[in-house]
Structure 1
């Protein structure tokens, strides 16, 4: 079983980060956002950095500034530059405003957010500090998740279309499936649905059968999926995505995986009981974070 108490402090981590790098995992929960510091598979200190209920989180990379953490909340989109001290601000641009949000993702240099009403908005946050701009790009039924250009919804999977994501021409196109619970839009498009995990080949092709609730990719042939309460991992680089290319992975705790994510060289799984598991290639290590109502996880490189 992977160790739970051999973790290192933030100070030790910063020394270690010189060779392994530091990645922060932001876990969205019903109690707020928990930040967990990682160096490879070493789990460092963790703390609550926001105490408003969080339904999802995503990181917007920026060219000349730290990445921007976006959090979907019942009171709108809250953003903060990634760093040791997070200062959140609420995006008040219409039509987002104080809209109750259920999901947030990143596509073409902007946030995509989904409201409870099904409206999908594109939110641009300028590096120069100018006021954010938000534009509605379409509506879906019962949105659940956003990743890259894909939106998971009760009425299936939708794709953001337009000229390089330009605000004035962006729209949504339904691309199939039913009862989509999650999507992965980096690299091979994947969708988790009530019937299983699907990959986009000549149409949507079955990867895994069963009730799928979460899926994630790293854009380089690796993927994870939660199906019937189990974790499955795809590590093939041969371009195949059928069931034979996935392997069940046993977590070090008997808990259900609910949030999946990738960082540089690391895979992260957060369970329904609030345990964060990380694998840097040598097996899973874990740390009990002690939160419930986990809704999502986003990873950001800090050092």
Structure 2
């Protein structure tokens, strides 16, 4: 069994952080957003950075300004800049006629092509872009836009250009081939719970885990609840309560390329995520597990109702 982080000294954590840099894992829970600091597989401090119950979480990379964290909440999309003291603020595009976009109850959030994609309780999928001129999310900017792309039935998750919904998987595509407009295109399956849009498209559904080849191909049959990928061949999925891992050196995506992973705790993972060189799985009981290539370490962070996790590079 991997050692708990309580067995790692504070000095060791400091030395390792200086060598490996820091990545923060943001965990969306029914009690708010919890931030957990990581240096490779060393787990450092963790704290509650937002008190609003969060249904999903995503990180939006930006070139000129700090990366942004977006949380899907009952009050809509809350946004904060990645850093030591993130302050979540409601997104407001400030544009006439779209003031409700981003302010309605949100159930899922992702990031794609420089903007957040947000799913509302009503099934609406919105593209929310925070302009580069806006260094902090609370500031209004003429460069910020909010656009309704389309509607699905009972949206569950968003990752990259993919949307998981009760009526299957959707892909966000250019409606005219030029790029002036976007629309939703149904790409199959049914009762999708989660999707991974980085690299090979993957989908977790009530009937199994699928990868997109010549149509959707079965990777594993069973009750698939979650899936995540890093775009470089690594992927994880939860099927029938077990964590499955697809290694980088596995070129294909069929059933025998996935292997069962043994977490250091006997708990079911519910949220999966990737950062630079690290895999993260958070369990329903509130334990964060991290693997940097040498096996899983874990830390109990004391949260329940875990809904999602997203990783942001800090230094």
SS in structure 1 of the partner of residue 297 of structure 2: strand
Aligned equivalents of 2:13 and 2:243: distance in 1? 28
Task: Indicate how the Cα distance of structure 1 residues 62 and 219 shifts in structure 2: closer, same or farther if over 3 A, else same.
Answer: same
Q: Distance in 2 between matches of 1:105 and 1:299?
A: 12
Task: Report the equivalent of 1:20.
Answer: 20
Give the TM-score normalised by the residue count of structure 2.
Answer: 0.92
User: Matched residues in 1 for 2:306 and 2:65: separation?
Assistant: 29
Q: Deviations over 1:158-191 (max 9, x none)?
A: 0000179998401100000000000000000000
Which residue in the other structure is 2:137 paired with?
Answer: none
Aligned to 2:202: 190
Shift in alpha-carbon separation, 1:97–1:191, aligned structure 2, 3 A:
closer
Alignment partner for residue 127 of structure 1, among 132, 136, 151?
132
Residue 103 of structure 1 pairs with residue 108 of structure 2: yes
Report the CA distance between 1:7 and its aligned residue: 4.0
Note if contact 2:232-2:248 (Cα within 8 Å) is conserved in structure 1.
no
Residue aligning to 2:277: 265
RMSD: 1.8
> Which residue in 1 is equivalent to 2:83?
83
Residues 165 and 142 of structure 1: is their aligned pair in 2 closer, same or farther, counting only changes over 3 Å? farther
Distance in 2 between the 1:135 and 1:300 partners?
25
SS at match of 1:87: coil
Which structure 1 segments of 5+ residues have no match?
none
How many matched pairs?
302
Q: Distance in 2 between matches of 1:116 and 1:165?
A: 29
Deviation at 1:14, TM superposition (A): 5.6
Structure-1-length-normalised TM-score = 0.96
Large movers: runs of 4+ above 2 Å: 6-9, 11-18, 92-95, 163-168, 236-239
Aligned to 2:35: 35
1:92 Cα deviation from its structure 2 partner = 2.2
Change (3 A) 1:8 1:123: farther
SS at the partner of 1:86?
coil
The alpha-carbon distance between structure 1 residues 31 and 205, as it changes in their structure 2 partners (threshold 3 A), is same
| Mean Cα deviation higher: 230-239 or 209-218 | 230-239
SS of equivalent to 1:207: strand
After superposition, the Cα gap between the structure-2 partners of 1:295 and 1:239, relative to the gap in structure 1 and judged at 3 Å, is same
Whole-Å separation in 1 of the counterparts to 2:23 and 2:216: 33
Q: What displacement does 1:88 show?
A: 1.4
For 1:73 and 1:182, the matched residues in 2 are separated by: 18
